[in-house]
Amino acid sequence: MKALALAAVSMLLGAATADEIAPPPRATTLMTRDLEGTTGKEMLVQVVEYPPGGVSPPHRHNASVFVYVLEGAVTMQVSGAAPVTLQAGGTFYEAPGDVHVTSANASSSMPAKFLVYMVKGKGVPPSIPVTGITPGG
């Protein structure tokens, strides 16, 4: 019944893409700490949880981002690189200039969870939306 209602809403919206109706991830900040000896930089540690079918729109971090998958599987891709699907124990890196074009739960039935260590500018938002890019493109 829920799937039928979602399909009806999708048809009514017409232009809605899967990313616009996919459940969003939830990021929980575990710690933020100034990096001693590195003026203007801080470390942000988060746990990110994707519900089944969860996906993020294209974005950038303007930071060095280190990812470690705790549970489930996620598909990640930055501009100019092929997508990779990571299982629990897998790692991923984003450079400060990368655009994260694909960030999604690889499963439509199981949740996924990963740990993020981000070295970023102090007080700068951890994620910035990027428009004009098709997810996966």
pLDDT tens, position by position, 31-77: 999 999 999 999 999 999 999 999 999 999 999 999 999 999 999 99
| E runs forming strands in the chain | 26-34, 41-50, 55-56, 59-60, 64-71, 73-78, 84-87, 91-94, 99-105, 112-121, 128-129
**CA gap 93, 66 in Å, rounded:** 5
Of the two residues 100 and 3, the one the predictor is more confident about is 100
Q: Which pLDDT score, from 0 to 100, does residue 107 have?
A: 96
Mean pLDDT over each residue of the chain, to the nearest integer:
86
**Vertex 59, ends 57 and 60: CA angle to 5°?**
165
Contacts of 64 (CB under 8 A, 6+ apart): 93, 94, 95, 96, 118, 119, 120
pLDDT over 90 (residue 23): no
> Nearest CA to 73 among 98, 52, 47, 99?
52
Mapped onto helix, strand or coil, the DSSP state of residue 122 is coil
For domain 22-123, which architecture applies?
A: Sandwich (2.60)
Q: d(Cα 49, Cα 26) in Å, to the nearest integer?
A: 5
The per-residue pLDDT for 136 is 56
pLDDT at position 19: 46
> Structure tokens of 71?
């549970």
